[in-house]
């Protein structure tokens, strides 16, 4: 029925631990939703490091990423005792993935303290600057110093990404989150730049909140948020708080966005404790794939798959053990098949 689907080559990095299992489920349901995907399997992660590829990402994989600009990625582990950077950091630095985007939306039918709340917002986090730029040194043997780096250009890029996302998703408001009352220059610059960028998007309302208050508001009244745009460390903490609101890292997708490359991945790690047992929940990676569908302009396909996934959660009879009401649940494969059936 979708014979007109254009071809979209995507680099598929299955990754470590539960990666291959969740990647298999995710690519199955994504291919069933949108026929145009051409999966290019590529290696990265712990096994490569053990074979002596220090960065964890071999040249052949980098070449494919540069050719396609699109990656669907499972979790990458860093072997214990490996001194260097993780493969994740390698990719983020190499392609200047300056924006980390995390939608926070619960799945229907699950319990938990926020089950009955209307939570649906996106955290857009700057991902290369701030205290995480890695500029640290010992001033004296007893005094350590870390430099907080915020640039106008970096702030403009993340602000534009957040406003453009709000516009594309037909949202009405954004909230800039900073600590500009204390760090008047760095966080203040970020706040100024977001406020200036807002003029290019007159249909969107912009609010500002201090990060400590925002943490409280996300718990007390999460319904108020649509898009949060913030600096790196604030965003690191707030996006995990958001993941907690909707039932944990296992359900939370993300996108890492650069000028030329976008990497879509689940927020969880490689979960070696359950790897190879056909019990991992592929929901977070499937939702990352739904973000990728929207990114390539296939909003209709994204909506079809999102609805199928929600149907399976609402029915509640074919969920993996981590979210099953009886704690037993079904296998990764059976969950995948239920989503495929819901798509028909």
Alpha-carbon 332 to chain mean position: 21
Residues in region 88-117 near ligand ATP by CB under 6 A: none
Q: Which of helix, strand or coil describes residue 84?
A: coil
DSSP state of 19: H
Nearest 5°: phi and psi at 99?
-120, 130
Establish whether 236 is a catalytic residue. Answer: yes
Give whichever of 193 and 263 is closer to ligand ATP, judged by the CB atom. 263
Establish whether 153 is a catalytic residue. Answer: no
Whether the CB-CB separation of 256 and 124 falls below 8 Å is answered with no
Decide: is 268 part of the binding site for ligand ATP (CB under 6 A): yes
Give whichever of 58 and 248 is closer to Mg ion, judged by the CB atom. 248
Selection from ligand ATP, Mg ion, none that 252 binds (CB < 5 to 8 A by kind) is none
**Distance in Å, CB of 75 to Mg ion, minimum:** 8
**Distance in Å, CB of 33 to ligand ATP, minimum:** 20
Count the residues in the chain: 344
Question: Pick the catalytic residue: 24, 240, 333, 337?
Answer: 240
Decide: is 280 part of the binding site for ligand ATP (CB under 6 A): yes
Q: Which residue is nearest to ligand ATP (CB)?
A: 269
Give whichever of 70 and 87 is closer to ligand ATP, judged by the CB atom. 87
Looking at the chain, which runs of residues are DSSP E strands? 8-13, 37-41, 70-73, 99-104, 121-126, 136-140, 143-146, 173-178, 205-210, 227-230, 253-257, 262-266
Decide: is 29 part of the binding site for ligand ATP (CB under 6 A): no
Give whichever of 94 and 324 is closer to ligand ATP, judged by the CB atom. 324
Decide: is 281 part of the binding site for ligand ATP (CB under 6 A): yes
- From the list 33-41, 63-71, 206-214, 262-270, the region that binds ligand ATP by CB under 6 A is 262-270
Whether the CB-CB separation of 76 and 57 falls below 8 Å is answered with no
Q: Which two tokens stand for residue 162?
A: 């957040």
DSSP state of 198: G
Question: By CB neighbour count within 10 A (0-12 exposed, 13-18 middle, 19+ buried), where does 50 fall?
Answer: exposed
Decide: is 23 part of the binding site for ligand ATP (CB under 6 A): no
Binding positions for ligand ATP, rule: CB under 6 A: 18, 22, 75, 77, 250, 268-274, 280-281, 284, 322
Which residues participate in catalysis according to the annotation?
132, 179, 212, 236, 240
């Amino acid at each position: 029925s979708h014979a007109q689907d254009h071809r979209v080559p995507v680099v598929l990095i299955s990754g470590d631990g539960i990666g291959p299992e969740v990647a298999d489920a995710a690519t199955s349901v994504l291919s069933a939703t949108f026929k145009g995907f051409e999966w290019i399997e590529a290696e990265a992660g712990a096994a490569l490091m053990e074979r002596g590829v220090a960065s964890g990402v071999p040249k052949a994989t980098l070449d494919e990423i540069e050719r396609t600009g699109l990656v669907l990625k499972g979790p990458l582990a860093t072997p214990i005792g490996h001194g260097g950077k993780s493969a994740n950091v390698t990719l983020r630095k190499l392609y200047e993935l300056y924006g980390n985007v995390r939608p926070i939306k619960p799945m229907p039918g699950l319990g938990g303290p926020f089950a009955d709340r209307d939570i649906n917002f996106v955290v857009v986090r700057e991902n290369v600057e701030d205290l995480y730029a890695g500029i640290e040194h010992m001033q004296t043997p007893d005094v350590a110093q870390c430099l907080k780096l915020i640039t106008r250009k970096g702030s403009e890029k993340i602000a534009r990404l957040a406003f453009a996302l709000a516009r594309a998703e037909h949202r009405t408001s954004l909230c800039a989150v900073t600590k500009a009352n204390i760090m008047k220059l760095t966080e203040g610059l970020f706040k100024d730049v977001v406020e200036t960028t807002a003029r290019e998007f007159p249909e969107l309302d912009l609010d500002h909140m201090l990060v400590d208050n925002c943490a409280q508001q996300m718990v007390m009244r999460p319904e108020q948020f649509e898009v949060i745009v913030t600096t790196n460390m604030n965003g690191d903490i707030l996006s995990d708080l958001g993941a907690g609101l909707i039932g944990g890292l296992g359900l939370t997708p993300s996108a890492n966005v650069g000028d030329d490359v976008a990497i879509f991945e689940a927020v969880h790690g490689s979960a070696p404790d359950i790897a190879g047992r056909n019990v991992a929940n592929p929901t977070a990676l499937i939702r990352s794939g739904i973000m990728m569908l929207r990114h390539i302009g296939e909003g209709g396909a994204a909506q079809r798959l999102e609805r199928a996934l929600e149907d399976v959660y609402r029915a509640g009879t074919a969920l993996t053990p981590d979210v099953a009401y009886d704690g037993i649940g079904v296998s990764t494969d059976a969950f995948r098949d239920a989503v495929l059936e819901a798509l028909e």
